[in-house]
Chains A and B, each alone.
Chain A
């Protein structure tokens, strides 16, 4: 109770469901929580980057709400691609097979023109709009300031050492089936990197395999940090660097229903998990998971933000309610002990007075 409080915040990966973390931060601010360090994987790394590069929690939340609001409001057609992918592409991450895709679109337009067949209009913009990354670069520059990041709160991101997109995916598939596990992700302290590497490493943590090429950092290639330690979510819920940094209370956010991440693996740590009180899934059907992962639209994002807010108030509030009753008990015991000492003094005074009284009488 008397140890200085150092709070770490783990922002797990989960694509568009990362909006949930905006609600988490808003609730933590209202609960008066101070955040001393943050770690993130994938979308959590991006959110964490904005949090760490902001001068205060208020400004961080303001920026995140603005960013996610813009991602929600922008129509996918006007963006020419789902916002999240475009966002990553805009910051320099190369889309896997982009050249082939553009060639295919060009050929399809030629063939369709020859047969006087009209293709969907949004395809017209793909060849030039998708690579026109200026607006999105401005977006990133606006919300993620590398210089401020250097002096911000400690930020750790998980990176998965890539063995090539297909092999990475195969490893994850085998791990999902319980036939093996992916190697553990590595954790990098963003502030320890050179300025020009920070944003790239941050975004590499969010590079979805196959869609994006892995990033080279030093002699190694890295991709989405959420892939590491698949069965235990070691990479997707990067708590280890925060514990090593001395955090004595770690708040862990999950972006999936029934996350297999287990607090039992950290028996000495004080961990407060914020788990969804209702399903996070919005889409239904066979590809619902992928749809939610890339579901940056105006219908889903506000609901995830609201859910994150309510879940945090519920989960943290329950703990604090219990702690308050403990504190009240302790306070009442202390008051009782203090009163006991006071009563002993009063007893002595009374005894002396009575002795004088009986002596005189």
Chain B
């Protein structure tokens, strides 16, 4: 063995190998590994005995042959050890290969499972997207309903508020038809009017009927007439309140509010707001509260819009 080989194989007490010396080594491993040192030592010894007398002596005593036989035996043991080791390694390699096959099989199975999971994931995502879309639609619908209900609520509150003021006598400074006109104008420009703008058909009709009902009740009450009773337009519906203080500002305000009214297309609104000297031709001269109210509602909420 060369010096460099000795150095490369040097074992020190710090070597990791020293940590496993407490377990019994296998015989064939000892014979295999230690046999190398035994054979080398004998070879080295024989190599030095190359002098004439040494060779003569070794040949005569038989020590040369014995040494060679020992070297041969060590080498044979080494080959046997190598065979044993090779057999073990082959078996171990076979196990490893078998394990690799199993691992490959598992990997393939995993791939199939992953593909199944991917399919499942895609289907799930599609279902979730669909659900999300439905939920959005449902939420939008709910939002719209909530907004509509809110507007309806505001409209009803507005309606209650206006008729509360009317019932409390806040409009008593106006003529009977002027009271109705003022109430309707206030409703038209407030939450009630907005609500009626956003709805159509039956709902709008329904709200206007509700408005008409309450206005007819209040007009009958203010005029002191019974249901179905008709009174003179000029003398009663357009008459200034008797005994009360007529507010000039109120009349001006009504006139200003109704400056859009036309005696031909909106005669009731025109008469109520402008109180002309000459009544429009289409305006009945004797009329009941329902006719005044419904006609004015129609002019303000249907025709004006």
Contact = CB atoms under 8 A, between A and B. Distances in A.
Contacts of A276: 41
A246 B25 CA distance: 16
A55 interface: no
A103 B189 CA distance: 156
A127 to B, nearest CB: 41
A324 B106 CA distance: 32
Interface stretch (A90-98, A200-208, A313-321): A313-321
Given A275-B37, A314-B6, A327-B23, A321 B17 contact: yes
Contact of A357 (B24, B27, B120): B120
Interface stretch (A56-64, A136-144, A259-267): A259-267
B20 interface: yes
A177 B26 CA distance: 37
B209 interface: no
Interface stretch (B66-74, B180-188, B193-201): B66-74
B45 A317 contact: no
B33 interface: yes
A257 B40 CA distance: 11
Interface string A311-353: 0011111111111101101000100100010010001001000
B210 to A, nearest CB: 54
A1 B34 CA distance: 18
B38 A275 contact: yes
B102 A273 contact: no
A361 B21 contact: no
Interface string B96-115: 10010011001001100100
A336 B26 contact: no
Interface string A97-131: 00000000000000000000000000000000000
A16 B95 CA distance: 53
Given A178-B60, A357-B117, 14 more contacts: A27-B13, A30-B13, A30-B18, A231-B66, A257-B44, A258-B41, A263-B38, A271-B31, A272-B30, A314-B9, A318-B36, A323-B33, A324-B20, A354-B113
Interface of B: 1, 6, 9-13, 15-27, 29-34, 36-38, 41-42, 44-46, 48, 60-63, 66-67, 70, 73, 85, 88-89, 92, 95-96, 99, 102-103, 106, 109-110, 113, 116-117, 120, 123
